[in-house]
Amino acid sequence: MRILVTGAAGYIGSALARFLAARGFDLIATDQSPPAPVIGNIAYPQFARSLVTAEVGAIFHLASLVSGGAEQNFELGTKVNLDATRDLLEACRLAGHRPKFIFASSIAVYSGAEAVTDETAPRPRLSYGSQKLICEVLIDDYTRRGFVDGRALRLPTVMVRPGGANTAISGWASAIIREPLAGRDYVCPVRPDSRMACISLGRVVESFFHAHELPAERLGSQRTVLLNGIPVSAQQMRDAAGGTGKVRFDPDPALQKIMDGVPQAVSSRRAVELGFRHSANIEEIVDEYKKNLSDPAVARNG
């Protein structure tokens, strides 16, 4: 079986592609920039639809324009996060062989709740979250009609991202660990008590593969699973990081307002029952990052 991974040059996508390749899967890894073997922009319908052939038995769809970028550029966010997903789903429908479709959603579908559970109703306050939620609904419907075997994971903040900053609103949560460890000073744009629901890169990669392996009947008609994210404050992140770089807190009012409305913890009984594992604590997340720093393939993907 051939597996398609979109967003394969990104932080999560590159780690997932390495994970699958190490297990002998035949991969089509695509992104709009190197080092992905297949280069192209899924915002163009012709390219997106060309990726799904009769040989492709599963699609891991991770390509997206992240939260801050989608908020700054509504048209591009809609094209990448929503239209491209539907183009891939349509390609699956037209291919006619019901491939597995595993989608990277986000807890950005929620707002205004400190603790999110399986019973929390999604109410996105950013375009990124709205686009992800619409895609979840589409995946449920395409699954109901027999076009795909869909699975979507609502991801907490995934840490620790190497390399430079991107446009994710949660980017500070990686920087406050990454920069001091690299011996660089960092000005954190949120208060020390600001909290995020967090999970490590390793746990997320495991979760995507576990979603692929789960029997369809265990998921039922609701194909979205909320992954557990542990609550960690900015100060706790800083304390766990160590390093020689200094951190100064200088909250940005606009960003702080957004952070005050995002989920601070995620508790999903369904995810546990389905066998998805979460990070134990912030120290485990930092230790994984430190271990990955010695791997050049990991360190160069941000």
Task: For residue range 216-267, list pLDDT tens digits in order.
Answer: 999 999 999 999 999 999 999 999 999 999 999 999 999 998 888 888 899 9
Residues pairing with 198 in the sheet = 157, 230
Task: For residue range 270-285, list pLDDT tens digits in order.
Answer: 999 999 999 999 999 9
Q: Give 3-state DSSP helix, strand, coil % of the chain, rounded to 5.
A: 45, 20, 35
Best CA proximity match to 209, nearest among 21, 56, 33: 21
pLDDT of residue 125: 87
Task: For residue range 8-27, list pLDDT tens digits in order.
Answer: 999 999 999 999 999 999 99
Q: What predicted TM-score, i.e. pTM, was given to this entire model?
A: 0.92
- 163, pLDDT greater than 90: no
pLDDT of residue 297: 56
Task: Read off the pLDDT band of 302 (50, 70, 90).
Answer: very low
Question: How high does pLDDT run on average in the chain?
Answer: 92
Burial code of 186-208, b = ≥16 C-beta within 10 A, e = fewer? bebbbbbebbbbbbbbbbbbebb
Contact 131, 69 (CB under 8 A): no
Residues marked active site are found at 128
pLDDT of residue 37: 81
Q: For residues 35 and 37, what is the distance between their CA atoms, to the nearest angstrom?
A: 6
Locate the domains of the chain by residue range.
Answer: 2-299
Cis, peptide link before residue 45, omega less than 30° from 0: no
Residues in the chain: 302
Residues 6+ apart with CB under 8 A from 52: 4, 59, 88, 91, 92, 95, 99
pLDDT of residue 166: 61
Identify the three-state secondary structure at position 232: strand
**Rg, the chain, Cα only:** 18
User: Quick one: fold of 2-299?
Assistant: Rossmann fold (3.40.50)
Distance of CA 288 to the CA centre of its chain: 17
pLDDT of residue 68: 81
- 42, pLDDT greater than 80: yes
